[in-house]
Amino acid sequence: MMNIDLIVWDLDGTKYRLPTNMASITNMVLVPMIQRRLAESGHPPLEPTKIIELGKKSYEQSGSVWLYFAEKYGFDWHDLHAEFNNNMPIEIVPSAPCPSYKNLIQETKKMGIEHVIFTHGNKAWASKALEKLDLTEEFSAERIFDLTTTDGSFKHHGIQPFQALFKNLTKHVPERALMVEDTPINLTGAKQIGMQTAIIDYSSNFSSKPEHVDYIFTTPQALLKRIVDERLGHSGLPPV
């Protein structure tokens, strides 16, 4: 990781650990949102269990619980994207996890490494979550990229979303950038475009590294610490 000048962070599940009941929280947001839209648009209603089932299938196929409903009923994805994120309870994000998180980001910035967020959530949600993590200063609005950057294309849809991202990061090239995710499939396009790739594996689920993943860390702090140590020559002291 010595030769990077950019870290692209996924947000949810990467910058912070998701709660274990995340699926039920997601369903609590999804069900009323879809029920209301079906009623408003004159479609026949769906039982909550059916919405949950379709949402799960949608997530498995597209990485989004709401995309199926956008496509099936012609709902505007921008609206669903915004509404889903606006209704997500901020309680899922822990308060500033540890002070070293912020310090390590600032330290790597001093070493010439830029940090941005690339998320499937929207920018408003990202700002809210980053505020709770006490990382607002480190990720100003122009450092946050979401599905509007990629025109609705998800990270696991190949290299197109990453090409769209780098159009916005003209000072950087993929070869000198590290993409950090909690979802391995979201790194395939990143790898294809030439980025280095890392997984944050909070629960130590990965016994071996997938082929397209260069590094696995159990926390973002561990990743940042490794970069700082590498730059200082492993000993933890600046080279003389």
Nearer to Mg ion, 10 or 83 (CB): 10
Q: Which one of 4, 6, 7, 12 is in contact with Mg ion (CB under 5 A)? A: 12
Which position's Cβ is nearest Mg ion? 13
Site string for Mg ion, 181-200 (x = CB under 5 A): -x------------------
CB proximity list for 40: less than 8 A, separation 6 or greater: none
Closest by alpha carbon to 32, among 7, 62, 69? 69
Shortest Cβ 168–Mg ion spacing (Å) = 20
Rama region for 82: left / alpha / beta (φ>0; ψ in -120 to 50; rest): alpha
Output 75 or 181, the one with its CB closest to Mg ion.
181
Cα–Cα distance list, 100 to 96, 97, 121 (Å): 10, 9, 25
Question: What string marks each residue from 18 to 47 as x (binds Mg ion by CB under 5 A) or -?
Answer: ------------------------------
CB of 119 to Mg ion, least distance (A): 8
> Segment near Mg ion (CB under 5 A), from 4-12, 153-161, 191-199, 231-239?
4-12
Is 146 a residue that touches Mg ion (CB under 5 A)? no
**Is 63 a residue that touches Mg ion (CB under 5 A)?**
no
**Site track 155-184 with Mg ion (rule: CB under 5 A), x = hit:** ---------------------------x--
- Closer CB to Mg ion, residue 43 or residue 143? 143
Decide if residue 13 touches Mg ion (CB under 5 A). yes
CB of 59 or CB of 77, closer to Mg ion: 59
Is 95 in a helix, a strand, or coil?
A: coil
- Under the binding rule (CB under 5 A), the answer on residue 10 touching Mg ion is yes
How far is residue 93 from each of residues 26, 90, 200, measured CA to CA in Å? Answer: 13, 6, 16
Maximum Cα–Cα distance for the chain, whole Å?
Answer: 72
Kindly give, in sequence order, each residue whose CB lies less than 8 Å from that of residue 199, ignoring residues fewer than 6 positions away: 180, 181, 182, 184, 187, 206, 209, 213, 215, 216, 217
99: which residues sit within 8 A by CB, 6+ positions away?
Answer: none
Does 83 sit near Mg ion (CB under 5 A)?
no
DSSP helix/strand/coil, 148: coil
Min dist CB 40 to Mg ion, Å, is 30
Residue 96 CA to residue 191 CA, distance in Å, equals 30
Residue ranges that bind Mg ion, judged by CB under 5 A: 10, 12-13, 182
